[in-house]
Chains A and B, each alone.
Chain A
Amino acid sequence: DQQVKQNSPSLSVQEGRISILNCDYTNSMFDYFLWYKKYPAEGPTFLISISSIKDKNEDGRFTVFLNKSAKHLSLHIVPSQPGDSAVYFCAATSGGGNQFYFGTGTSLTVIP
């Protein structure tokens, strides 16, 4: 049962434009959400997170938006850079982070 879903397996964006990566979840008990970036043959690197008490969190070029009623979150990267090309995973947890549920990932390619 996939509780966190990333329906777009891949995304291509021109350098300098905005990248929008989407994530949907089904469990209303999730109260903390994270985005990770992963290069091939490496472990994921934490990017940004958001608590369910917020609807937006911004860190430099990265902004995460949370829509609890729609059970949807998105990661915006602006401006996109070629070095952003990687697989992005969203993750969700509840009850203090005892277990993280990951989406299937979206492969982002930023075209120079």
Chain B
Amino acid sequence: GAVVSQHPSRVICKSGTSVKIECRSLDFQATTMFWYRQFPKQSLMLMATSNEGSKATYEQGVEKDKFLINHASLTLSTLTVTSAHPEDSSFYICSAQDRGRGLKAFFGQGTRLTVV
């Protein structure tokens, strides 16, 4: 199956700093990438959807100035958590979709962010 690589898998940062998470599709061109956040024992909550070369579409309640998403190429999307706070600590997961190969979305391995 298609491979989506997400990096880093774990990151600890100080409150007030920014953290960048990368999501790469390794063997296909991702026309659409999705960013999710998962709280303990809860479902995956969609944060935003990005199409290559255009601005991301954010879900209601997600601060676009805090969670900066860039999808500059067909194989790379980044999520930057700016001015991180302890409440931003969570598990962030990206997924990528190649519309030319159907509707399946393939997921990265996730990033555990801990803000101290």
Contact = CB atoms under 8 A, between A and B. Distances in A.
Contacts, number: 59
Question: What are the 10 A-B residue pairs with the smallest beta carbon separation, nearest first?
Answer: A43-B107, A97-B103, A104-B43, A43-B110, A102-B44, A43-B109, A44-B107, A102-B43, A43-B108, A43-B93
B13 interface: no
A96 interface: yes
Interface residues on A, range: 20 to 34
B61 interface: no
Contact of B44 (A2, A41, A44, A49): A44
B91 A41 contact: yes
Interface of B: 1, 4, 6, 9, 32, 34, 41-44, 46, 49, 91, 93-95, 97, 99, 103-110, 112
8 contacts: A34-B103, A44-B107, A45-B107, A97-B97, A99-B46, A101-B46, A104-B43, A105-B43
A62 interface: no
Interface in A70-99: 89, 93, 96-99
Given A43-B4, A97-B97, A105-B43, 5 more contacts: A41-B91, A46-B1, A96-B99, A99-B49, A102-B44
Select the residue from A2, A44, A45, A102 with max chain B CB neighbours within 10 A: A44
A34 B44 contact: no
A65 interface: no
Contact of B103 (A2, A41, A93): A93
B104 A34 contact: yes
B97 to A, nearest CB: 6
A104 B109 CA distance: 18
Nearest to A4: B43
Interface string A5-47: 0000100000000000000000000001010100001111110
A77 to B, nearest CB: 19
Nearest to A6: B43
